[in-house]
Amino acid sequence: MKRSVEDLAIFGGTRTFAEDKHVGRPNLGDRAAFHKKIDEIFDRVWLTNDGPVVRELEARIANITGARHALAVCNATVGLELVAHGLELSGEVVLPAWTFVATAHAMRWVGLTPVFSDVERSTHHLSAELAARRITPRTTAILATHLWGEPCDVDALTALAKKHRLKLIFDAAHAFGVGVGQRPIGTFGDAEVFSFHGTKFVNSFEGGAITTNDDELARRLRLMRNFGFAGFDLVLHLGTNAKMHEASAAMALVNMDAMGVFMTANRVNLETYQQALADVPGVRLRRPSGNGQRNFQYVVAEVDEALTGVSRDDILAVLQAEGVIARRYFYPGAHRMEPYVSEEQPSLPMTEEIAAQVLILPTGTAMSPVDICLVTDLIRFVVAHGPAIAAARGSGAAAHMPPLRLPRS
């Protein structure tokens, strides 16, 4: 418990956590079950190249999402690149600036022009109305993201894409196990791309998946992820190496067995944060909507400096010094990162306002209720002493503080 500003680690006090508490600390399923699968992989001596564990994983993903086709890939970024190639896109792709930069990079990497749109302030999502403003004669696709385990407005975006005869892709990196009403994410648009990176609530060490109901697109994607091979010596399509190996597929399957446990832990953590921070002025937690399944994998706070008396970045610096490795996700917006910031970009006021306020807090199975109480006590203390902390940092104490920490994974 901090009794004075001088007790804060940023000003020389003792850290609250001896071991860092990370956003996205990996959830781990049954270790013995994973080892059993690895033993079976070793016994088969089949490590990659569309092995039986990858095929089992693809069947599981198709079952969970309801998609006709699921293709495991080495990561979600390459998955987006494959989809762009498979849909034979050209010219411009409209996408939100409030997204992980890989969403835009994947399009630029394959020769397309990302056209950034602002997002809705209340949802953080690309809306059909905002996307429509960025469509030009060169637009061939809309690439929307499902953020924070919440779906974007798939129906409105589908109608917009149909109206303008555009392809529609969803970056579903945050949305595995999520649904719109009774319909799972994974069946919308021309294709959806999931991430199973180590920081996601279900991970495969590193990996991703593409889902689609388009038979011809699925056929092309399967060729493309393995250099275009359709047999030992038969190459039918331009391709690359986007395959997932057997060990990653084994990890994903074991973690999918524990999905319910991970979701429950995330939901309970979010409720604990909400209760503890409900009366803290200027700190607002996003609340998932009740329309369909949610995975609760992110605790998203927004900090209003006018009410807290201390900036989001001041709070972040204090937390990180205490061992709470909170994050400014997507900061300062993809349109403000290279190579895009060196090009002419539109004013995107909602994206920039969100980027200045969002603070992502640690959750997942690695966080206990006691841990969360300690984190929220720190936030409460910082806000209660906001002006003093801001003044101390501004008066030279910042010279003694550590820099903002980079994520471990």
Contacts made by residues 54-59, CB under 8 angstroms, sequence distance 24+: 54/243, 54/244, 54/245, 54/246, 54/249, 56/249, 56/253, 57/204, 57/209, 57/244, 57/249, 57/252, 57/253, 58/209
Fold type of domain 31-257: Aspartate Aminotransferase; domain 2 (3.40.640)
Can you give the pTM of this predicted structure?
Answer: 0.94
Fold type of domain 5-25+259-326+362-400: Aspartate Aminotransferase, domain 1 (3.90.1150)
The amino acid at 368: S
Q: Report the alpha-carbon distance of residue 154 to residue 174 in Å, rounded.
A: 15
pLDDT digits (tens, 9 = 90+) for 65-106: 999 999 999 999 999 999 999 999 999 999 999 999 999 999
The amino acid at 111: G
How buried is 290 (Cβ within 10 angstroms: 0-12 exposed, 13-18 middle, 19+ buried)? exposed
Beta bridge partners of 328: none
Domain ranges of the chain: 5-25+259-326+362-400, 31-257
Token code pair at residue 238: 């331009």
pLDDT at residue 289 in the model = 83
Assess whether the region 5-25+259-326+362-400 and the region 31-257 belong to the same CATH fold. no
pLDDT at residue 400 in the model = 39
Beta bridge partners of 209: 72, 194
Contact 303, 383 (CB under 8 A): no
Mean pLDDT per segment of 10 residues, for the chain of length 409 residues? 92 96 96 98 97 98 98 98 98 98 98 98 97 98 97 97 98 97 96 97 98 98 97 94 98 98 97 97 92 94 95 96 97 97 94 98 97 98 92 57 45
